[in-house]
Amino acid sequence: MTSREILSKLPYSKPFLFVDELTVIFENGAEGTFTFDENLDFYKGHFKNNPITPGVILIETMAQIGLVCLGIYLGKDNNNTETKFAFTSSEIEFLKPVFPNEKVTVISEKVYYRFGKLKCKVSMRNSKNEEVCSGTISGMIL
């Protein structure tokens, strides 16, 4: 399955799609990028006169690239045209802010995939290759 095919199967659309490119995908991990456009609605109120990307959006970006894209790839042999996911848990440490117009790279490494549950170690890096957040994310493939 190609990166383009995986992206076409994502269950999201703008303005809630946080994947621009899937650069690496294989059975043990994924890597992709997203640029946070300054016109995204959440910047209007988070924070006044000094907008930063909310942590929940950073987690969602890591989940879409590092968990859902990988889950679609791992489930490629189940002949389903639509793979459904349920987010189950995350433990993320935030180290640096992500600002409007900043491009980030998410790197995911599979911890395990069994009985429909996928757990990954994820890391997000900015354009200076500085880690901005990292941790684990889990979900169920339904």
The tens place of each residue's pLDDT in the chain, 142 residues long, gives 899 999 999 999 999 999 999 999 999 999 999 999 999 999 998 888 899 999 999 999 999 999 999 999 998 766 555 678 899 999 999 999 999 999 999 999 999 999 999 999 999 999 999 999 999 999 998 8
- The pLDDT score that the predictor gives to residue 79 is 57
The class (CATH top level) of 3-141 is: alpha beta
The answer to whether the beta carbons of residues 132 and 58 sit under 8 Å apart is yes
User: Residue 15's CB: how many other CB atoms inside 10 A?
Assistant: 11
Could you say which DSSP state residue 68 is in? I
Q: Ramachandran region of residue 129, left (φ > 0), alpha (ψ -120 to 50) or beta?
A: left
pLDDT in tens, 119-136: 999 999 999 999 999 999
- The pLDDT score that the predictor gives to residue 142 is 80
What is the largest distance, in Å, between two alpha-carbon atoms of the chain? 49
Name the average pLDDT for the chain.
94
Residues assigned a catalytic role: 46
